Every structure is written in structure tokens, then in C-alpha cells.
Amino acid sequence: MLHLSCPYCGPRDETEFAYGGEAHIARPPTGASDREWADYLFFRRNSKGIVFERWQHARGCRQWFNVARDNVTHEIRAHYCIDEEMPAIPDSEERL
Amino acid sequence: MTRRHYSFWSIANEARRGHRGWAPAWRTPTPKLSYDVIVIGGGGHGLATAYFLAKNHGIRNVAVLERGWIGGGNSGRNTQVVRSNYFYKASVDFFEHSLKLYETLSRELNFNVMLSQRGIVTLAHSRHDLETNRRWANAIKLNGVDSEILSREDVKRIEPLINLDARYPIHGGFVQWRGGIVRHDAVNWGFARAADALGVDILQNCDVSGFETRGGRIAGVATPHGVLRAEKFVLSVAGHTSALARQAGLRLPLVSMALQATVTEPVKPMLNTIVMSPGVHVYTSQSDRGEIVIGGSADVYSSYAQRGSLPVFEDFVASAVELFPALARLKVMRQWAGIVDISPDTSPIMGKTPVANLYINCGWGTGGFKAIPAGGDTMASTIANDRAHPLIAPFALDRFERGALIDEGAAAGVAH
């Protein structure tokens, strides 16, 4: 069971949250090529190690926020608001 | 390369000598510096690819590199279900080819894979579910595969212990009688033994840490045995595909997630078929050893941890107990997870890549086991001819750019 901390409500169990996938994906400009659209819609980094992802406090305040999580150990490394820059996480090289 | 034929007589002979004469089923070879094809990943798909390269295409200078041991990954972690009850023609054609290969696999490999075509029942929990099931079952029939609509009474007749008046009452369903279960370890061991007998080198404890590229092609892979070279390479590594492909400069439309399953203590026969409920998302069957095997949906977030989350486990176990109240008293014996690579349309991604001599076989998500023989057969053909096998042409990586998705996740439901 993950314990996530909503920036607005504080720490709660995983079951209160909905997962929103990889964060910091920018929508391409109008007139982008099919390849750019495919990349935006479907292609993901899918790192092993530290991942930056969106979560929603679906059964609480319904706000979206971002989490930096280690997807091998499930350790939560950072919580930050949806409009914040990706934080620097020490020792976050991808594993193989 | 010779191997001993397994038969009633070989078992009787060994029994007479106290079973002291069995030889290992495959060699532990010293790696050569160069191969025609290197298969990265010694799961069912990788081993089957190597076997069919050697058998159908005469390409025997092949190595299979396995990071752990044969049968230690998803090929030994799945719930053993084989079926071909898909919605779209591309999927039905491919998975039906696979099921047909499974039907003769024991003879093909001289290894009893214990195929048991006991039928797979899909439940409907509302009138609307039943409508969808009817459409699904009719699509399967139109594609030339067996399927049969079931009434509420039919379901009860097939599975007498089912609770028709569950929290989400059962309105009926449909069945594919040719669906069933196969002993998964036997599939891995059988393909490994048969490939080895044709000269394929199976290298266990051999993880790939990177690629050596030259002029837009892969020249070699870095392993504990040094750099191993080959003409062609295929990635067949399930949940680790994105991470490894990135080393070769490829970006893929995959997300890796944990998929869990569990078995109870063994009991006398109580389930006749595989029962699958897309509505409450659980599927269950009874193994030949008597254990009740239960699985459900993948965990909700990305993971490379090979262990599942408790809330998802509680969800699918609660669903199983609601459908079969008799399960409530059973103790859980084992629970585990495998890392599956889920694609946006939940269909596999197979074939050529932008890197000229690198092929991929991935995106199997929660349903790769049933595809092992056909995955190996079609990938071997694709690699040997450097042209996608007709059965996998629709599953090419460029379908996402072309918008030609094969959305089984939406069409055939979550139980994919």
C-alpha cells in the first residue's frame, strides 16, 4: 500500500487516489506531424527507477498533483503541485 | 546434437534404475563470440522464437540470453490460460493460430505441456453485459472460432458452485470450449529443450547491460561474457522492453505494471472451467494439483517491483469469493506479481523497428502466455525474411503513427 501525501489534504492511503500516468508531457503545437502526435498520445518514457507522475486525490479534494516515485522500491521521493517544475532528485539514475 | 526421446519407455527404464540416469534437458554452453541471431530474453516467446528459427528456417547459430533462469520471469508467473476469443479479425487470426499450435505442442516438442481444453466461461452481470457478450461471441464465430452463448441456467449447470445471485447477479455469458490451461513451466522447458537440441545456445544468468551500435545498426550486446556479436537481434523481455530499448535509442508506447495472481491450498475438484468476469474483473480456475488459481487486473501505477499492491489483491479475491462463496474458507498459499508491458491499445507490438537489425516482440501486457507458440513462429519468420509475417503485420510499431490501433482493450474488454 502506497502512502501518498496530497499537497492540500495531507497523507492518505493509495485507495483514495487515482493514477494519471507520466507527468510533464507537453501538448504539441497545431500542425504537428503524425509522428509528433503519436509520440504525445502514446509513447512514454517508462523509466525503471525514479518516475515523475500525476496523481489525483479522487476520493478527497479531487485536486491533481505530481509525485516523484521510485517504481522499484515504491519509495515516494517528492510531492509537488501540478504547475511546478520537475524537482531534482539525488541518486535518480535509471536502473536496468 | 542428439537428445533422448521422452516416452513411456524412457520413464519406465529410468524408474527401473531409480531415476539416476536423467540428463539435464539442455546444455550450459560456453558463449560463442558471434551468432547469426541473438534473442534477448529467455521467456516463452524468446525460446519459441529461437526454436522456430532453427526448425523452420535452418538458422541454428542462435543464442538466447536470459538474465535470470528459464521460467523465472512472466512465463512462470502467469495463470496458464490459453484461448482465442478475441473481437477483431487480426487478433482472432493470430491467437487462433497460437491455440492450434498449442493443440499439437506436446507432440511437436516431445514434452507433455498438459493442455487441458476445459472451456473458458465469460460472465455477464447485466442485460447490457449480455448484449455485449452476444456481439463478442458472434464476432468470434464470424471469424471462424468456436463460441457459444450461455443462459443463467447454463452457467449454473457448468459451474454448480457459482453464486448466481451475487452482488452483481449473473445473467448468463458465453463459453469458448477450446480455451483451457497449459502447464506453463512445461512450455518453457519444452521449448528450451527442443531449441537446445537443434543447436541453440541458452545462456542463463546473462543480463544485457547495453548495445554496441555501428552505423545505425546493432553490432553487439554487452554481457557478463563480454560483447557478443550477431547479425540480428530480437528484444523479447516483457516489462523491461522500454528500459532496454532505450539503450538502443528506441522509444516505445509501453507502460510497465505489476500483474498479480494467487493460488490457494489444494482441494478436490470444484471448478470445471476457467471462469472469467470482466465486470468484477476476476478470473479463476483449478490447477491439476487442486489449487484454485485467481487473478485480476494489473496494479494501477507503473512498477518494476515484481510485487503487487494489497488493495488490488483484496479486490480480486473479494470478487472471487462473491462468485464462489465456497472459496471463502480456503487459505492463500502463494501470491506473486510479474512486470507486464502494457500498450495503449492492449495489443502486442511485434516486428521490425527503426533500427535496421533490431526486432521487437513486446506489448503483451496481461496476456502473453497464450501467444507463445505463434509469437515464436511469426517472429522467427519475420527475422529470417526481414519482412513482417502476415499474421503480425497489423501489430507493427508504426500503427500508432498511422492511427491503426487494434483496440482489444475496448472491444474484448478488460480481461485481455
Provide the 3-class DSSP secondary structure of residue B203: strand
Place of cell 539503450: B247
Distance CA B111, CA B177 (A): 24
- pLDDT level of residue B415 (50, 70, 90 thresholds): low
CA distance B198 to B121: 39
Q: What is the pLDDT of residue A94?
A: 83
ipTM for the predicted complex comes to: 0.96
Cell readout for B197 is 537440441
Q: Determine, for residues A43 and B247 on separate chains, whether the beta-carbon distance falls below 8 Å.
A: no
Alpha-carbon gap: B210 to the closest alpha carbon of chain A (Å): 9
Chain A: nearest CA to B223, how far in angstroms?
13
Residue among B207, B301, B344 minimizing CB distance to A42: B344
Q: Give residue B150's pLDDT.
A: 98
Q: What pLDDT score does B1 carry?
A: 44
Alpha-carbon distance values, B298 to B1, B276, B309, B414 (Å): 42, 15, 9, 10
Query: Residue B247's CB: how many other CB atoms inside 10 A?
Result: 18
* Mean confidence (pLDDT) of chain B: 95
On the question of pLDDT at B351 being above 80, the answer is: yes
Residue A26 is assigned to a structural domain of this protein: yes
Q: How far lies A10's CA from each of A3, A6, A7, B33, in Å?
A: 10, 5, 6, 56
User: Any idea what the CATH number is for the domain that residue A71 is in?
Assistant: 3.30.2270.10
8 A C-beta contact, residue B39 and residue B234? yes
Average pLDDT estimate for B390-399: 98
CB B302 to CB A53 under 8 A? Answer: yes
A61 in any annotated domain: yes
Distance from C-alpha of B126 to C-alpha of B108, rounded to nearest angstrom: 43
Asked whether residue A90 is domain-assigned, the answer is no
Containing structural domain, residue A25: 3-81
pLDDT digits (tens, 9 = 90+) for B137-185: 999 999 999 999 999 999 999 999 999 999 999 999 999 999 999 999 9
**Number of folded domains in chain A?**
1
The answer on pLDDT for B401 being more than 90 is yes
- Residue B343: other Cβ atoms inside 10 A: 24
* 8 Å CB contact of B309 and A45: no
Q: Does residue A91 form part of some domain?
A: no
SS (H, E, C) chain A: CCEEEECCCEEEEHHHCEEEEECCCCCCCCCCCHHHHHHHHCCCCCCCCEEEEEEECCCCCCCEEEEEEECCCCCEEEEEECCCCCCCCCCCCCCC
Cα(A74)–Cα(B116) distance, integer angstroms: 38
How confident is the model over B387-399, as a mean pLDDT?
Answer: 98
CA B126 to the chain's CA centroid: 30
Q: How many CA atoms lie within 13 A of B193 on its CB side?
A: 20
Asked, for residue A93, whether it belongs to a domain, the answer is no
| 8 A C-beta contact, residue B383 and residue B359 | yes
Identify whether A10 is part of a domain: yes
Residues B219 and B355: beta-carbon distance below 8 Å:
no
Q: Does residue A25 sit within a domain?
A: yes
B276-334 pLDDT tens trace: 999 999 999 999 999 999 999 999 999 999 999 999 999 999 999 999 999 999 999 99
DSSP B211-239: EEEETTEEEEEEETTEEEEEEEEEE--GG
Q: Is the pLDDT of residue B119 over 60?
A: yes
Residue in chain A nearest B305 by alpha carbon:
A72
Rounded Cα distance, A96 and A93, in Å: 10
Q: Is the pLDDT of residue A84 over 70?
A: yes
Is there a domain that residue A87 lies in? no
